Amino acid sequence: RAKHAGRGHACFFDAEMDKAVRTRRQLENDLRQAILRRQLFLEYQPIYDVGSDSVSGYEALLRWAHPDRGVIDPETFIPIAEESGSIVAIGEWVLQQACQEATRWSEPANVAVNLSPLQFMIPTLYDQIERILRKTGLDPQRLELEITEAALMRERTTVIATLQRLHRLGVRVVMDDFGTGFSSLSNLRAFPFDKIKVDRSFTGALEHDPAARSIVRAIIGLGHSLNMPVVTEGVETETQRRIVIEEGCAQLQGIFFGKPDVGPSQFQSTLNKVVGQG
Ligand code: C2E
Ligand code: MG
Ligand code: MG
Ligand code: MG
């Protein structure tokens, strides 16, 4: 029966495939121009600190304002940037932009930047970050680098060495999306992490799935004994907030506290000047 239905379907499928491939190639080309054409921008999402009962930092989240397609999410274009190699230039732009903008914030909050595993493949990553910190004047203690376990798969000794040097510089290294993908407990021992971020899929399941709560509890316990504070991301409801605080989570992030946005009154100083002059 498959053979009978096959032909028409195959044509339809081919046409769809073809369209998808062309769209992807188009995006890939557009992405190469995105930095020069100033189409990339960052949004900042608050990270709430339980101990001080205040927002202690912001995560920089990359957006692409495409001229025809509107604002595109990183989950759509980062994989394309990784495949085509443009992630290296984009990643450097993100670091530079986030550090620069953070120096202009109205409060000296921490800024968290996501790094693609591919950025660890360039031997000059450490020098790049050191130079950006020096040029922007951002205190290294305010910078957090979020990496996923995919970054730890290859060239482990090189990655460990880079993370250790960054750590000595005062930068904090955060394991992102912990509990999914290639999660391995030995990574927590082998790499110098300062903080663990629990994947948001667990947070979303907390209210109806007791297993999710048990896993979050276990990760927090692990973090405690390894001296690594645990952050929960994707906190959307009051109940989720209550549960993760009860479990001893150190920091919380999610739309319950604030959506990704412009950051801590970034234009405050300019505004004051304008108002002051008026
Ligand atoms: P991530 O690092 O885990 O970032 C958190 C994601 O969760 C963000 O998605 C954020 O908008 C979303 N989020 C925030 N609050 C909530 C909530 O309450 N509920 C739910 N369901 N989601 C929430 P976004 O901005 O679409 O980014 C997706 C991923 O793209 C990030 O996941 C990160 O892995 C990657 N990414 C973002 N910016 C960059 C970047 O500059 N460089 C690289 N290499 N990757 C980036
Ligand atoms: Mg998104
Ligand atoms: Mg992140
Ligand atoms: Mg995450």
- Specify whether the CB–CB gap between 244 and 205 falls below 8 A: no
> Where residue 8 falls among pLDDT bands split at 50, 70, 90?
low
Say how many CA atoms lie within 13 Å of 33 toward its Cβ. 8
> Where residue 270 falls among pLDDT bands split at 50, 70, 90?
very low
List 111's β-bridge partners, or say none: 58, 143
The set of residues, in sequence order, having a beta carbon less than 8 Å from that of 108 and lying 6+ positions away, is 139, 142
Quick one: pLDDT at residue 211? 96
The answer on pLDDT for 267 being more than 70 is no
Mutate to test the pocket of ligand 1, among 40, 43, 97, 114 (most ligand atoms within 8 A of CB): 114
Mean pLDDT score across all residues of the chain: 91
Q: Is 254 in the pocket of ligand 1 (CB under 6 A)?
A: yes
> Where residue 26 falls among pLDDT bands split at 50, 70, 90?
very high
Quick one: pLDDT at residue 266? 58
Q: Using alpha carbons, select from 109, 94, 89 the residue that is nearest to residue 45.
A: 109
Q: Is 149 in the pocket of ligand 1 (CB under 6 A)?
A: no
DSSP code, position 105: S
CA of 51 to the centre of ligand 4 (A): 21
The answer on pLDDT for 239 being more than 60 is yes
204-237 tens-digit pLDDT? 999 999 999 999 999 999 999 999 999 999 999 9
Q: Using alpha carbons, select from 153, 37, 57, 146 the residue that is nearest to residue 95.
A: 146
Mutate to test the pocket of ligand 1, among 35, 41, 61 (most ligand atoms within 8 A of CB): 61
Q: How far apart are CA 9 and CA 5, in angstroms?
A: 7
Say how many CA atoms lie within 13 Å of 50 toward its Cβ. 17
Quick one: pLDDT at residue 4? 52
Quick one: pLDDT at residue 162? 95
CA of 12 to the centre of ligand 4 (A): 37
What angle do helix axes 125-136 and 87-103 make, rounded to 10 degrees? 30
In a 3-state reduction of DSSP, which class is residue 231? strand
Q: Is 261 in the pocket of ligand 1 (CB under 6 A)?
A: no
> Where residue 183 falls among pLDDT bands split at 50, 70, 90?
confident
- Specify whether the CB–CB gap between 72 and 106 falls below 8 A: no
- The arithmetic mean of pLDDT across residues 141-168, rounded, is 93
DSSP code, position 70: E
CA of 76 to the centre of ligand 2 (A): 9
- Specify whether the CB–CB gap between 233 and 267 falls below 8 A: no
- The arithmetic mean of pLDDT across residues 5-21, rounded, is 74
ipTM at complex level: 0.97
Q: How far apart are CA 247 and CA 195, in angstroms?
A: 16
State if pTM tops 0.80: yes
Task: Give the rounded percent of residues in the chain with a pLDDT score beyond 70.
Answer: 91
Q: Is 233 in the pocket of ligand 1 (CB under 6 A)?
A: yes
In a 3-state reduction of DSSP, which class is residue 107? coil
The overall longest dimension of the chain from CA atoms, in Å, is 78
Residue 277 gets the label, from left (phi > 0), alpha (psi -120 to 50) or beta, of alpha
Quick one: pLDDT at residue 14? 84
The answer on pLDDT for 17 being more than 90 is no
Among 126-135, 158-167, 265-274, the range scoring the smallest mean pLDDT is 265-274
58-92 tens-digit pLDDT? 999 999 999 999 999 999 999 999 999 999 999 99
Pair type for strands 251-253 and 40-49: antiparallel
Quick one: pLDDT at residue 186? 87
Name residues with Cβ closer than 5 Å to ligand 4, which is an ion.
176-177
Pair type for strands 40-49 and 54-66: antiparallel
